[in-house]
C-alpha cells in the first residue's frame, strides 16, 4: 500500500510534545510534513512517576526518558484525528500496548486501537514494537511476538503500516531474523530507531539517579545516538535493497542540525523524524531543519531529497 506523501520529509518523532490536543495542533501548524501522535494505548495512562525525563543531560549529549506511555488513550486520539487532518498533512497514529485494566492480550490491544484509528481517518499507523520503558525488553526483540502482533494487523488494516524498531546494535542474527520477517509481512515502512534503552545518568551534585522509575534506567535520544541511528538506518536500507525489496526506511535518532538530517538521508532514510531537538527547541525546529536541508541540496547540485537517499559511498583507501 502506497504511503502518504510526507512533504517536507521531516516529522516529529512520536513522544516528545505529541501527547496532548494542544501539542498535536501545534505540530499541525508547524513546518513538519506530518503529525505523529504519542504512542497510544487501550486505556489512558498517566505514565511513570516523576522525575521521568532528563531533557538535557550533561554536555548536551541528549535526553533520557522513562515516560511510561503517558497518553490520552486511543478513544480520545480517534476523536482528535478529524480535527488534526484539517491542518492538511498526514496524521500518523502511533500504536502501542501496555498492561491495562481490560487485560486484553497484546495482539488484541494493537488490533482494537488500529481499527479505531483507521476508522477515524488516520492516514497511516506507526506500530510501536520498541518501547523501552515497560519491561526493558521491546517486542521487536522477540520475532514470535512481532509475528503475533503484525499478522492480524496486516490482514485487517487497509491503511499503510509502519513499524517502529529498537536499535539492534550488535545483535545481528536477531536483526536479520526480524528484518526478514518484516519483508514477509510486507510492512509499508520501517522507522528506526526508538531510544537507546537501559541507559543511566547521575546528578553529581546530589549523587542521585536522574530518573526515578525502573531503577533509574531510561531511553536515550539526541546527539549521542546519531551514529547508532545511522547504523540502524543503513543496515535496514541495505538489507531490503539487497533483496530487491523497496520498503522505505524512515530515520529517527540524533537529528539536531541540517547536516544530521542529510546524513540520515544518505544512509538510506527517505523521511526523518525529530524527537529530542523538538523537545529542546519546540515546533519551529522543523522549519529550521528543512530550510537548511534545501539550502544544502541546492549548494551541492541536487534538486530533491530523493536524489541522495541511500547515496552514501564506501570509504576509499588512501
- Cα distances from 315 to residues 227, 264, 274, 308, in angstroms, run 16, 17, 28, 17
**Ranges within 217-276 binding ligand RRO (CB under 6 A):** 219
Distance CA 20, CA 76 (A): 10
Write out the binding residues for ligand RRO, residues 154-213 only, by CB under 6 A: 194-195
Shortest spacing between CB 176 and ligand RRO, in angstroms = 23
Q: CA 286 to CA 225: how far, in whole Å? A: 19
Q: Which of 30, 39 has the CB closer to ligand RRO?
A: 39
Residue 67 within binding range of ligand RRO, rule CB under 6 A: yes
Q: Does 68 bind ligand RRO (CB under 6 A)?
A: yes
Which range binds ligand RRO by CB under 6 A, 62-70, 167-175, 202-210, 239-247? 62-70
Which parts of 106-135 interact with ligand RRO (CB under 6 A)? 128, 130-133
Find the binder of ligand RRO among 6, 69, 111, 189 (CB under 6 A): 69
- The reply to whether 18 sits near ligand RRO by the rule CB under 6 A is no
| Rounded Cα gap, residues 201 and 117, in angstroms | 37
For 228, phi and psi rounded to 5 degrees? Answer: -65, -45
Dihedral (Cα; 27, 30, 35, 39), 10-degree rounding: -30
Considering beta carbons, is residue 28 or 167 the nearer one to ligand RRO?
Answer: 167
8: which residues sit within 8 A by CB, 6+ positions away?
31, 33, 286, 290, 293
Detail the DSSP E strand segments found in 69-136: 91-95, 124-128
Q: Which is nearer to ligand RRO, 30 or 94 (CB)?
A: 94
User: In this structure, what C-alpha cell is assigned to residue 214?
Assistant: 525502573
Find the part of the chain contacting ligand RRO (CB under 6 A) among 24-32, 61-69, 142-150, 236-244: 61-69
Q: Which residues bind ligand RRO (CB under 6 A)?
A: 15, 39, 65-69, 96, 128, 130-133, 194-195, 219
Amino acid at each position: 500500500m502506497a504511503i502518504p506523501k510526507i512533504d517536507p520529509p521531516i516529522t516529529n518523532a512520536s513522544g516528545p510534545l505529541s501527547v496532548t490536543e494542544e501539542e498535536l495542533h501545534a505540530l499541525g501548524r508547524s513546518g513538519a510534513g506530518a503529525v505523529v501522535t504519542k504512542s497510544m494505548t487501550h486505556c489512558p495512562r498517566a505514565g511513570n512517576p516523576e522525575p521521568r525525563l532528563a531533557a538535557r543531560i550533561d554536555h548536551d549529549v541528549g535526553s533520557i526518558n522513562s515516560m511510561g506511555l503517558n497518553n490520552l488513550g486511543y478513544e480520545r486520539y480517534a476523536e482528535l484525528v478529524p480535527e488534526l487532518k484539517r491542518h492538511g498533512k498526514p496524521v500518523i497514529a502511533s500504536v502501542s500496548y501496555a498492561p491495562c485494566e481490560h487485560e486484553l492480550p497484546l495482539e488484541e490491544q494493537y488490533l482494537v486501537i488500529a481499527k479505531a484509528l483507521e476508522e477515524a481517518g488516520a492516514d497511516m499507523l506507526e506500530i510501536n514494537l520498541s518501547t523501552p520503558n515497560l519491561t526493558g525488553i521491546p517486542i521487536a526483540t522477540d520475532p514470535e511476538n512481532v509475528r503475533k502482533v503484525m499478522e492480524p494487523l496486516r490482514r485487517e488494516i487497509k491503511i499503510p503500516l509502519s513499524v517502529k524498531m529498537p536499535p539492534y546494535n550488535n545483535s545481528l542474527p536477531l536483526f536479520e531474523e526480524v528484518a526478514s520477517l518484516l519483508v514477509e509481512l510486507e510492512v509499508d515502512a520501517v522507522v528506526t530507531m526508538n531510544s537507546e534503552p537501559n541507559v543511566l545518568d547521575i546528578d553529581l551534585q546530589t549523587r542521585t539517579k536522574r530518573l526515578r522509575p525502573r531503577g533509574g534506567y531510561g531511553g536515550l535520544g539526541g546527539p549521542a545516538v546519531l551514529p547508532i541511528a545511522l547504523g540502524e538506518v543503513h543496515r535496514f536500507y541495505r538489507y531490503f535493497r539487497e533483496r530487491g525489496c523497496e520498503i522505505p526506511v524512515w530515520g529517527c535518532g540524533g537529528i539536531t542540525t541540517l547536516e544530521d538530517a542529510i546524513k540520515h538521508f544518505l544512509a538510506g532514510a527517505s523521511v526523518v523524524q525529530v524527537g529530542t531537538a523538538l523537545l529542546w527547541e519546540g515546533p519551529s525546529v522543523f522549519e529550521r531543519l528543512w530550510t537548511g536541508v534545501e539550502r544544502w541540496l541546492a549548494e551541492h547540485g541536487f534538486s530533491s531529497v530523493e536524489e541522495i537517499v541511500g547515496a552514501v559511498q564506501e570509504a576509499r583507501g588512501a
